[in-house]
């Protein structure tokens, strides 16, 4: 559902799910992910930024979906809610490593 100008309470009221993921924006692009439980308490907050060093060139890795590596609570939650494959990184795709409360 598109939140528009609805407050979080209205979003929770209209949601068919017990958890709600709110995608925030930064300069018109997705910039944050906030996951809330059925009471409206924030379970997870991720702020997203991108950095490309000078001389960075296009690679086929950019067009591939990342693999999520890590089986902790955070890794399992990200895999479930973002629909990411959870497994080992093989060097042929981008990799998101998750350990406890740290993500690279």
pLDDT of residue 65: 76
Burial readout 63-94 (b: 16 or more C-beta within 10 A, e: otherwise): eeeebbbbeeebbeebbeeeeeebeeeeeeee
- Per-residue pLDDT of 34-92, as tens digits, reads 888 888 888 888 887 766 556 656 566 556 777 888 778 878 888 887 888 888 877 66
Distances from the Cα of 90 to the Cα of 17, 61, 68, angstroms:
34, 12, 11
Instruction: Report the distance separating Cα 48 and Cα 26, nearest Å.
Output: 9
DSSP letter for each residue of 41-72 = -EEEEEE------TT----GGGGSPPEEE--S
pLDDT of residue 25: 79
């Amino acid at each position: 559902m598109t939140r528009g100008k609805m407050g979080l309470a209205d979003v929770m009221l209209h949601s068919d799910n017990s958890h709600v993921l709110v995608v925030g924006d930064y300069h018109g692009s997705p910039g944050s992910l906030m996951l809330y439980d059925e009471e409206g308490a924030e379970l997870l907050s991720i702020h997203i930024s991108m950095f490309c060093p000078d001389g960075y060139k296009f690679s086929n890795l950019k067009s591939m979906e990342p693999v999520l590596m890590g089986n902790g609570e955070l890794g399992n939650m990200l895999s479930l809610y973002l629909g990411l494959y959870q497994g080992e990184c093989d060097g042929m795709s981008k990799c998101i490593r998750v350990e406890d409360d740290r993500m690279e």
